[in-house]
Structure 1
Amino acid sequence: MTAARVGVFGLLGSGNLGNDGSLEAVLGYLRAEHPEAVVDALCGGPEVVAARYGIPATRLHWYRGEYRTASRAGAIAGKGLGKLVDAVRTAAWVRRHDVVIVPGMGVLEATLPLRPWGFPYSLFLLCASGRLLRTRVALVGVGADAISDRPTRALVRGAARLAAYRSYRDALSRHAMRAMGVDTSRDEVYPDLAFALPTPAASAPSGPPGPPGPVCVGVMDFHGGNDDRARAEEIHRRYLDGTTRFVRALVEDGRPVRLLTGDACDAAVVAAILDAVDSPLVTAAEAASLADLMKETAAADAVVATRYHNLVCALKAGTPTLALSYAAKSDALMESMGLGAYCHPAREVDADRLLEQFRSLEGRSAELRRTLAERNLAATRQLGDQFTALTAALFPAADHVHTLREAS
């Protein structure tokens, strides 16, 4: 048997910790179950991926200014030419592989501002190349949501239909793809891939109960979704003002606050809150991975967070969590982990109401920690099923070898 050539694809190494955490989970699966596989990446941040994960990596886009706004003729021409070059580059890269995996991420949604000729186009090129060149493309544990913009919806739907394998991180995603015309009858739902990452040990209390401990507040450079462009600044101002007022209220109660981020762009929000509150009780965490975020949340008494994977980290760490929810995926995640009552709209942050919900959350801390422990055990089992199904779909020869070994 020759070693399988496996590619991983996505906006990886680009500063989004959730995306990189999904990659880390898939690499862990490949190294444990298919150590003979030869793995490389086509991704947004190849230098970061190569250095951090030890695999060869190629830049996703030929044109280096792909994600900068093009206002001059040269930049517009460069972007246009880049789309043509990327079609050839993507097909050539896909051709070199037996399997390509898109690890998690919200690749089938537009809950944040998104242009059709950005990542949706790249994903369509990948899946079309896979179908044309007979390379199996797998969308593994991905997120999806209803998309109103027609060009974006057409590209996302086309990519999903052309993929050889699909699974989703929640039932909402599968329902959304079915509503967009994709046959999901053989698609399964599993927990987010980040639940497969190692869990940090929680800080064990020692001695008699002391003063209330730290609160992690995960912030986001939030301007609404793809359909909110006309009121993006208003949404951002409300979100920042409400979150700042909430942090100030915690400080007035004497609570230490750790500000968390999940993407490089969130640093501006952290800076604004630090400047507005101006207290030594408020500090900013410097997390470089989901593992770092989990350690921060494991050490906290409670977490209030916006970004989806900030929530995942807190829930996996077993810490009572309140979601500043910006999309239905956050509500679905919280419901699945038994904390559905603790969601607050990110578009309309009401600091007084949020503080009331937070106090209710802390009042039920012991009960919620037990619930999270049970749900995390179930998530671990379900992700074991996900990886077994993935092996059967993408590595049938290896699955046959495993079966023979078990039988003997």
Structure 2
Amino acid sequence: MTEVRVGVFGLLGSGNSGNDGSLEAVLRYLRGAHPEAVVDALCGGPEAVTARYGIPARRLHWYRGEYRTASGARALASKGLGKLVDAVRTAAWVRGHDVVIVPGMGVLEATLPLRPWGFPYSLFLLCASGRLLGTKVALVGVGAAPIRDRPTRALVRWSAKLAAYRSYRDGLSRDAMRATGVDTTRDDVHPDLAFALPTPPAGTPSGTVCVGVMDFHGGNDDRPRAGEIHRRYVDGMTRFVRTLAEEGRPVRLLTGDACDRTVVAAILDAVGLPLVTAAETTSLAGLMKEAAAADTVVATRYHNLVCALKAGTPTLALSYAAKSDALMDRMGLGAYCHPAREIDADRLLEQFREVEKRSAELRRTLGERNRDAARQLRDQFTVFTSALFPAADRAHAPATRKAP
């Protein structure tokens, strides 16, 4: 088979388990459907990506302090120089590939605090380099949302326009890009890539409740009241967890990013009961295993929700963006969402008890929806192969026809 050079790009290996789970799903697809592919990465945490997935990786940014607030003339000059150096570095990396894949992630949204000259600029460099150098750039199963900040919106819009292939993890994402002026006529919608990962076996009922927490300060538009939002979120979660523990329920606190550990520590310190423990998970596989062993999950981060739903465990979402509501609705649990910005612990407990009463019914619903998600993702990868690996697709076609 002819060797195909494939690059993967994004904030991968940086401590966000959702991003890394999307990468894992794409690598599984490539190793199964395109064993001839030679894969490497341009990413946020190259050492972690190489250690975990066994592929060569290099750092996304030349300037190591890219995501720290610049203080002083030297830091500002280094950050500015880094933007110029990254343009050259990105183009040189893109040129060495036939296809570059951006696997999942919310790369076309700003539902969490985001500066235009951070990742949006990096994504624009990638897509512009691909268009100029003839390398196909594919945004696969990505998330998008309306963006008010004009520079960020412009960079995101042009990145999408310059990409050779786009698919989205929900209809809201496609609608958001259409509203910016991107032609989405040929763009598909499929479930989140994490639904392609293996499902852990279901656990036996134990009374355990998994509570996924987040270092939540609102989104880009919430910066003026970020501190207030954070305090209210932590206070609401603490009260909810304390109530469950006082009722004798074991509670496992889950995270989805390294930064979430500060919230876990705050809740553990405030509650101070032995029934409340923290899970040490750094991957979606670990999160799914925790969710599968629980009776019920209450979670904030998007990919904590994905893991719980994928595991087939009745779930209540603390929703901070429309993507969470869309995911819950798609999986048949749209009635069980609670606003993360304005947690009402009493109302949250009412919703939680309703989820538990309908547990058996919700598990059946999730089983059906998960089977449908798996089928849709198989279709996604078939379309993706035809669009970006046409020669490989033809090479594989005869073998597919002969299979029993």
2:260 aligned counterpart, secondary structure: helix
Q: Which amino acid aligns with 2:142?
A: V
Is residue 257 of structure 1 aligned with residue 255 of structure 2? no
1:195 and 2:189 matched? no
Is residue 304 of structure 1 aligned with residue 295 of structure 2?
A: no
Equivalent residue number for residue 329 of structure 2: 335
Q: Distance in 1 between matches of 2:281 and 2:204?
A: 22
* Superposition misfits of 4+ residues, deviation over 6 angstroms: none
User: Separation in 2 of the partners of 1:10 and 1:406?
Assistant: 32
Code of the residue aligned with 1:318 in structure 2: it is: G
- For normalisation by structure 2, the TM-score amounts to 0.99
Alpha-carbon distance between aligned partners in 1 of 2:382 and 2:376, rounded to the nearest angstrom: 10
Does residue 180 of structure 2 align to residue 180 of structure 1? Answer: yes
1:356 aligns with 2:350: yes
Q: Residue 186 of structure 2 aligns to which amino acid in structure 1?
A: R
- Note the alpha carbon deviations across 1:345-376, whole angstroms, 9 max, x for none: 00000000000000000000000000000000
> Residue deviations 1:155-184, cap 9 Å, x none?
000000000000000000000000011000
How far the C-alpha of 1:237 sits from its partner, in A, is 0.5
Paired with 2:2 and 2:399, the residues of 1 have a C-alpha distance of: 19
Q: Does 1:11 align with 2:47?
A: no
The residue correspondences of 1:72-83 to structure 2 (distance < 5 A) are 72-83=72-83
Alignment check: 8 A CA contact 2:97 2:135 kept = yes
Using the alignment, how far apart are the partners of 2:354 and 2:397 within structure 1?
Answer: 50
In structure 1, C-alpha distance between the alignment counterparts of 2:29 and 2:192, rounded to whole Å:
14
Correspondence for 1:118 = 118
Identity %: 82
Report how far residue 404 of structure 1 moved. Answer: 2.6
Distance 2:150 2:400 in 1: 49
Does the alignment pair 1:398 with 2:387? no
After superposition, residues 21-36 of structure 1 pair within 5 angstroms as 21-36=21-36
Say whether the 8 Å CA contact 2:26–2:103 is kept in structure 1. Answer: yes
Could you tell me which residue of structure 1 aligns to residue 213 of structure 2?
Answer: 219
Q: Equivalents in 1 of 2:59, 2:331: separation in Å?
A: 36
The residue type equivalent to 1:53 in the other structure is Y
Structure 1 residue 72: Cα displacement: 1.1
Secondary structure of the equivalent of 2:115? coil
Q: Which residue of 1 aligns with 2:99?
A: 99
CA distance in 1, matches of 2:161, 2:36: 30
Structure 1 counterpart of 2:237 = 243
Listed as ranges, the matches of 1:128-147 within 5 Å are 128-147=128-147
Flag structure 2 segments of 5+ consecutive residues without an equivalent: none
Map Cα deviations across residues 267-307 of structure 1 (whole Å, 9 max, x no partner). 00000000000000000000011000000000000000000
> What is the CA–CA distance in structure 2 between the aligned matches of 1:2 and 1:402, rounded to whole Å?
12
Query: 2: distance between equivalents of 1:405 and 1:197?
Result: 24
1:204 Cα shift?
A: 3.9
Q: CA deviation at 1:405?
A: 2.7
Alpha-carbon distance in structure 1 between the residues aligned to 2:44 and 2:164: 23
Q: How many residues align?
A: 402
Instruction: Describe the superposition over 1:182-221 as per-residue Cα deviations: whole angstroms up to 9, x where unpaired.
Output: 000000000000000000000145xxxxxx6100000000
Identify the residue that residue 287 of structure 2 maps to in structure 1.
293
Partner Cα separation in structure 1 for residue 397 and residue 263 of structure 2: 51
Partner of 1:234: 228
Tell me how far 1:2 sits from its aligned partner.
2.7
Distance apart, 1:401 and its partner CA? 1.4
Match for 1:352: what amino acid? Answer: D
Cα offset for 1:402?
1.8
Secondary structure of the structure 2 residue equivalent to 1:200:
coil
Is the CA contact (8 Å cut-off) linking 2:204 and 2:293 kept in structure 1? no
Give TM-score, length-normalised by structure 1.
0.98
CA distance in 2, matches of 1:406, 1:177: 35
Residue number in structure 2 paired with 1:320: 314
| Aligned residue identity for 1:242 | G
